[in-house]
Structure formats: C-alpha cells, structure tokens
Amino acid sequence: MAKINSNYLKLPGSYLFSTIGRKVREYKEIHPEADIIRLGIGDVTRPLSSAVIDALHSAVDEMGHEETFKGYAPDLGYEFLRNVIAEKDYKARGCDISPDEIFVSDGAKCDCGNIQEIFDTDNTIAVCDPVYPVYVDSNVMAGRTGEYDPQTERFKGVIYMPCERENGFVPKLPDEVPDLIYLCFPNNPTGAVIKKDMLQKWVDYANEHDSVILYDAAYEAFISEDDVPHSIYECDGAKDCAIEFRSFSKTAGFTGLRLGYTVIPRDLTAGGERLWPLWARRHGTKYNGAPYIVQRAGEAIYSDAGRAQVRETIAYYMSNAQVILDGLSKAGFEVSGGVNAPYIWLRTPDNMTSWDFFDYLLDKAHVVGTPGSGFGPHGEHYFRLTAFGSRENTVRAVERIVSM
Ligand code: MLT
C-alpha cells in the first residue's frame, strides 16, 4: 500500500499567501464591486526593463536558428551569467566568490526550500520569529521538526529566535546551539537590516559551533544605507560557514520569469563533508536549469543600461515605501522597515490581532496586506505592507487606511 509523507500532515492550514488569496477571492465574491488594492504578497508590478526585454528578444531569436539553438542548460548555469554575477555581485564588493561556486536556479524560494535536503534530518534548525514561512515549512515536510503546537503556534524541535521592536527585529545569538541557522536580511517580513558588525558575530558564532548559516539575501538590492552588508561573504570567515541565496525576482522584476542563484563555497563543509558536491549532485539530478532566454535576460541586468534601469525601478518602489511610511506614521501608526527593504512592518492599532486587522482593512479600506502572525507568533499584532504596488495604488491605499 502506498503511504504518504505524513510530515505534510503536521502543517496547519495552507501556505500563508494561498490563504490570503482565498480570503480575498471569497470577499470579492460577496462584494464584487469592491476596488481591492493588493499590498499583500510581495509581487512586483513594474514591467521588465528595456535591457531585459531586448536580451529576451535576441535570445528568443537565437532559439529559432539551428546554429544558435540551445537545449539543456549546463548544470550550474551558463558561464556568461555566473561570470558576471561573480564579478559584479561579489568581486566588486570585495568578496572572493568564483563563478563555479554559483548555482543558477529558477529562484530563491525553491533553493531556500530545497537546500535542507542535503542535510541530515537530525539537524536542529533555528529561524527568526517572525519568519518567511518557506524555511520552516520545508523542514517540516522533510521531517526535521516535531508536531505543531497550536498553543504556542510553533513546531516542536525548532529553535525560534524572537525578533522584536526592542532588538530592532534582529535576533540574539541563540543559547541552544542550532546546526542550521536561517537568516534573511534585509528581512522579509519586517524590513529590518543587520549591520555588518552584528552579522560578523553570527559568522563567528557559526564557525565556533560548526553550524551552517543559510543566508537569504533576496532583498539586497533595496539596501540604501552604508554599513549594511549586501552579502554575508563581506564578513570574515563566512566562506567557512555560509550558503547564500539571491533572487532576480525583486531586484529586476523576474517574479514571472524566474531566476535566482545559490552560492556554495567550494570548501564549505558540514560534519567533515563538502557541501558543494552534494548540492551539485542534487541540482544535476532534480533540476534541468533555468531557460537560456531567462539566463540571458539575467545577464542583461548587469550591463550599464541594465543596472541603471534596475536602480530606477528600485527607486520607484522605495518611494512607494516612503509614501507608506510617511502616511502611516503621520496618522499615528507605529511603522518600521521600508528604508532598506520593500516591506513596511506596522503595529496593528488598538492591539488588534493581525488577522482581525487583515479583515478590517479588507472590509473598510479594500486594501490587502499580510498579517504578521502568519509569519510566526512574534508577528502577532503586526502587519506587513509591500511597496511593490503601483504609485497610484500605493497613494490610494494609504489615503484609505488613514481615513478609516
Ligand atoms: C512575500 O510576499 O513574502 C514574497 O513574495 C514571497 C516570495 O518571494 O516567495
């Protein structure tokens, strides 16, 4: 008799953004006239830049000619892309990452979810609370956690590291030593950042305890302040303890195109075994590579024109963030984030629960956001708004929220 992976049964409800989608659809069925503004899921709205579109067109043309047609991509990704990533994302920041330490993929979400496969199920994981749900859920699916406790809203066997306003939404080094540490900076969902000296402490801690840091830097392109590291490899010793994930989704609007990459230093080990060959084996076995045309589009964001266009789009989103920060703080909301990240993290008014505020906002302002408690119990009484809407919708949403 076939049996299911019963770890899946430990997961309560559906994926956070699926639940939100369902709630909005149900609301819309009852209120078809409602003009709903979606600032919930962090999905981009600006069109792809002309450098990317040009690269796509020419790559599509190449695929139509026998001499330039491409079949399967190389396992790690095309060299033209890995070379430019190593040069522009790492060497330019003083990080010694070589092209063959870069694995091109179809996005950071998949890589963050899949990376745990190369680690034993006995490993203890540590996550921030609140946290991007993929890190926890993928470990639950793999059987690396105990049951879900509805009282604490936590999975047994996971080390949760509270991120609160008192600590600037940056966790303290845990007392109980984890094997795998998930960190995401700039942070989703709080929009907080970690300064370089603090990140160095994490790297030192991981090296001291033989832990591996899984560092999600999907939002690094939104960093505007100095002394905020763009990569964990800016810290001394990080190549001995860290894997880094990057995404083209938010940086260059590729949520619908799909492209990302993971850096695994050649000599990074866990329990004396190198991780690079394991991920290479996994990649080669289970994945056929991001499409050639998409990898060419990715390459285009590193050209002079591409970089300028990316900066312009990011500036657009970050001025949306400013509109939200200004509007809501003037109206008396407690807000943070939105300076080095496209997410604004706000305290719900009158101590409302996050889901009550979600319903209230949907009903009274027809604005969709993301309830903080969906990211973990320390997200309760918080709410996330994304800066990825259009300017017009962002302005309208803020006007509606402040006049509720
Ligand atoms: C989010 O809204 O948190 C993100 O869009 C999720 C993702 O990037 O997968």
**Confidence category of residue 102, pLDDT binned at 50, 70, 90:** very high
Of 303, 323, 346, the residue at which a domain comes to its end is 303
At 137, which amino acid appears? D
Give me the mean pLDDT over the 27-37 stretch. Answer: 97
Same domain? For 222 and 371 the reply is no
Same domain? For 314 and 379 the reply is yes
Same domain? For 17 and 85 the reply is no
What's the CATH code of the domain at 32? 3.90.1150.10
Domain range holding 224?
A: 53-303
**Confidence category of residue 283, pLDDT binned at 50, 70, 90:** very high
Asked if residue 229 has a cis previous peptide bond (ω within 30° of 0), the answer is no
| Class of residue 346 by CB neighbours under 10 A (exposed 0-12, middle 13-18, buried 19+) | buried
Of 268, 303, 338, the residue at which a domain comes to its end is 303
Same domain? For 18 and 69 the reply is no
Same domain? For 200 and 179 the reply is yes
What's the CATH code of the domain at 231? 3.40.640.10
Give the pLDDT of residue 15: 81
> Which residues neighbour 284 within 8 Å (Cβ) at sequence distance 6 or greater?
75
The percent of residues in the chain predicted with pLDDT above 70, rounded, is 100
Same domain? For 39 and 115 the reply is no
Same domain? For 65 and 87 the reply is yes
Provide the token pair at 352.
Answer: 């409302």
Give the pLDDT of residue 119: 98
For residue 134, the ligand 1 atom closest to its alpha carbon is: 9
Same domain? For 330 and 244 the reply is no
CA gap 206, 19 in Å, rounded: 35
**Confidence category of residue 14, pLDDT binned at 50, 70, 90:** confident
The percent of residues in the chain predicted with pLDDT above 90, rounded, is 98
Q: Is residue 2 part of a domain?
A: no
Of 271, 303, 335, the residue at which a domain comes to its end is 303
Tally of structural domains, the chain: 2
Same domain? For 214 and 317 the reply is no
Provide the token pair at 284.
Answer: 């080669």
**For 295-352, what is each residue's pLDDT tens digit?**
999 999 999 999 999 999 999 999 999 999 999 999 999 999 999 999 999 999 999 9
**Confidence category of residue 13, pLDDT binned at 50, 70, 90:** confident
**For 377-396, what is each residue's pLDDT tens digit?**
999 999 999 999 999 999 99
| Average pLDDT of the chain, as a whole number | 97
Q: Is residue 1 part of a domain?
A: no
The pTM score is 0.96
Q: Are 10 and 140 in contact (CB under 8 A)?
A: yes
**Confidence category of residue 226, pLDDT binned at 50, 70, 90:** very high
Same domain? For 36 and 148 the reply is no
CA gap 371, 149 in Å, rounded: 19
Instruction: Give distance in angstroms: CA of 204 to centre of ligand 1.
Output: 29
Other Cβ atoms within 10 Å of 384 Cβ, number: 26
**Which residue minimizes the CA distance to atom 9 of ligand 1?**
109
Give the pLDDT of residue 106: 96
CA gap 85, 88 in Å, rounded: 5
**For 161-202, what is each residue's pLDDT tens digit?**
999 999 999 999 999 999 999 999 999 999 999 999 999 999
Same domain? For 219 and 264 the reply is yes
Instruction: Give distance in angstroms: CA of 42 to centre of ligand 1.
Output: 5
Indicate if ligand 1 lies below 6 Å from the C-beta of 130.
no
Give the pLDDT of residue 130: 97
Instruction: Give distance in angstroms: CA of 319 to centre of ligand 1.
Output: 20
